[in-house]
Amino acid sequence: MRIECKSLAKNIREQAKREAKGKKLYLHNIVVGEDEASLVYAKSNLKLLRKMGFDGKIHHLEEDEKILLGLIDSLNEDERVHGIMVNFPLPKNIDAMKVRERILPIKDVDGINPLNYGKLLLGQEILVPNTPRAVIRILETITNLGGKDVLIINRTPVVGKPLSLLLLNRDATPTIAHSKTMNLEEKARNADIIVVAVGKPGFLREDMVKEGAIVIDVGINVVDGKIVGDADFENIEKKAYITPVPGGVGTVTNACLIENLVKAAKLQGVI
């Protein structure tokens, strides 16, 4: 069974728009180096923002840490900027921790500043990374998370780690798996919910999923010019609930980013 995500994304966007109370909000998106995927993502976000009556700017920078940190400083100080997003992964010559620390926590719309992470660890969800938040929003529309066994196949700060904390806050029982995990297939077969974010097409097979389980496919891969996820959608769909790719987690993540922009503006006292 296919999990419909587009109407959820629309609801999140419309609610965010209502909460902005007519205030035009600006999101500045920073892409460093020649990362084509980040540029495509930033452009699609800008298009969505404009469609909603908000606006923003894409800063495409060369691979220079000083320039990047200087830009973040000026955006932090600029009252016309309500949200700052830096696209990861950053080039290796840039200290990612310095970048995370530099973004003003109340403008940190992708929740990457250590202060926002720390608050999440302590159970306070202020500005939380958008992809794991999108996963939670999808799950909450179709199930009650309390007591559920959730297998997350990903341990990165972008997806797996923050998602495990969001799940704990909702009384679920998360297990985090990664490339060194033993008996992954057995763990997957026992899970009520599987969140897969590995970046390998066809990674999650039908025989790894129990009947009636829920599969959230976070993966984004390009195969023969087409975007696909990490799961064997066609076969899993016959026995379990599963999100499509495209039109699944990514769509809801984009809506969650706008929701966080509005939240950030509230934290800044402009709404």
Q: Which residues bind ligand NAP (CB under 6 A)?
A: 131, 153-156, 158-159, 177-181, 184, 197-199, 218-221, 249-250, 253
- Cis peptide before 114, with omega less than 30 degrees from 0? no
Cβ proximity to ligand NAP, 116 vs 253, nearer residue: 253
The CA distance from 86 to 76, in Å, is: 13
How far is residue 195 CA from its own chain's centroid?
A: 13
Min dist. Cβ of residue 263 to ligand NAP (A): 18
Cβ proximity to ligand NAP, 139 vs 198, nearer residue: 198
**Nearest residue to 130 via CA among 106, 152, 105, 109:** 109
Min dist. Cβ of residue 23 to ligand NAP (A): 26
201 — phi, psi (to 5°)? -60, 140
Cβ proximity to ligand NAP, 111 vs 219, nearer residue: 219
Could you give the dihedral angle defined by the CA atoms of residues 226, 141, 47 and 73, in that order, rounded to the nearest 10 degrees? -110
Cβ proximity to ligand NAP, 29 vs 154, nearer residue: 154
Q: Are 59 and 28 in contact (CB under 8 A)?
A: yes
Cβ proximity to ligand NAP, 16 vs 198, nearer residue: 198
Min dist. Cβ of residue 24 to ligand NAP (A): 25
HSE-up of residue 117 (Cα within 13 Å, Cβ side): 15
Min dist. Cβ of residue 246 to ligand NAP (A): 9
Min dist. Cβ of residue 222 to ligand NAP (A): 10
